[in-house]
Structure 1
């Protein structure tokens, strides 16, 4: 079987047992460093991709991509406005809403909440909440019955279950014969949802007609929620739509409420990726040092090969093969390890939490309560290509040094 001379000798050198165990140790360290660097890079970028996915699917699935609201007054003819908005090809669906902030109380427990007055059927087209009901049905929100749907964390904090009563306190004060009193209303819990995010602890839904009575809106709604086919085009699209509407409206989008969080994740992904690439660079420098020591140790062998007719380019390729094999094996093992960890890290962390009885990611602190992971194959390909390229470049200088070895000079003292 034909085997190129440089590859054959390079593989023999790589597999041969060395008399200098220190060089073998440095070779192993180089391979392990590259393996750990590639595995860590794949794992961490997969986790960052997971956070990015959860932000899009959960957080941005609950909050509006964009909204159109009136200037300090309700939108009376909101159905016409909604129909006009839906004629835009970039719009998936619209839904009316009335927004309120207040406090929910029960049994001495008090929690600040954001209350959304919605039409259940329309809201299910622009929000994922109806798909994440733990108890009850989303359609249980009926006009005039003053039912309320709570997030799971909020319900647990208040200590309520299905059918229990909670009191909603709004900051608007009412003047009566008893003096100035806050506006209070009792609601019945008709549903509990869970999206596994911070919104489970501070968000509640009521029927839009009940919200209108509570806020004393005689006609119309406060705004119209809009869901787009591409949420990243929402900031531009909602402003263009606002200019086409008759009247004066305010346009808002998700970048004003959660844009900083999304940008922070993107920045962290880039910075962490850059820092972890340094591990790969360190491993590559170890390959340089390994090959330099191998060249020094094999000077007499190189001289003999030169006297037998080996050209400088052959010698150079021999030592390039050694470095490339170290880089290839380290990258291959690291890629396999990183892929396995990226696919199982969510279950591993969840199992560790159950075993230790602790919660690493609390919804009170983080926007989700578990460690997500999404393996992105283009990222894996980029990491593998970068690691192999760096490993190849690391072999050039030592291999060039080997090719410059002079036979007479190397064999002088042999």
Structure 2
């Protein structure tokens, strides 16, 4: 029987993710948290610019990156030890309290940049445990056959938060300045907490019936599952890294993700701004190109959500990365705005599709007991290493021009697709159905 693109039929007794109240509660919590995060970033940028020089404001906005990168791997260990739901609840509670505290402080006084810098550091530190836990949580709320669909739903939530966050933050600033925008962000994050508390957590496969996790919403840590003792944090981290290195799918998948992100981040974040400026499109033109990218990425997420899975997932991810890399290279050579928007739709479609497939493969291939650590490594690659390409991209554009740098970035991205297609186990990897 040949594979088709018909919607996935769930396994016996397994409810489709988009009809599962448990998954929908998670989706509501995640969407609310991401929306609050988007509003927070706008409020932080606005408040920092109003309180200091542009250089100092930029330092404040970037302050969260360092603790997030330094602590991310340890955050994966925490997520696996304490359980992802518990960590996400605690993280959102801390973020909510911190944002509301700064909102109250800004409402009664003008303290300068120090509370904003402290808030950014708190967010970066909390993100280091929040992001791995968020990545590990889907596997605990639904069956393996629904994880691809959940990745699509997650992508839709991210796109919606990106579209709605800036206008909501702007309304908050217009209504009451930075304090009102921060308060709105805190309230949106707060909405996620009761929804997360109500989630029912599934047992890990190796712990079914062992009392480690139950279906009544309780959750215990996983530390020391093998060997009867509880190893140290360092041992847990080393075990997670060994799990990735020795896995025939995860090891090339991590390299694929790294090359794809490094090749993608520079053109989108630095190259697009310079491209819009040199082509005379202005800020509005750049906004249209970004909108095209968002439409394409949203369409890819919707496709995964509706279909539930795609056949030959590893192969499809590799070809999607290659197609996306061609579109990235073409974007730097399109003279007209309409053409650039059309190419950006293709970039978003192919990169969104490959991202969802890679995320679903990561979820289904990793040992559930190590999923926080596996997600932490992927997050460190995307949020720690990939942004380092931006200053190099800017310097290269100044030296060689836009076209060659877009082509070089496309080549790096394309290498990720080549890895996926040349690694036999990754190429043959399938999503459960």
What is the TM-score with the length of structure 1 in the denominator?
Answer: 0.19
Structure with bigger RCO (C-alpha 8 Å, 6+ apart):
1
Structure with more helix by fraction: 2
| Rg larger for | 1
Structure with more strand by fraction: 1
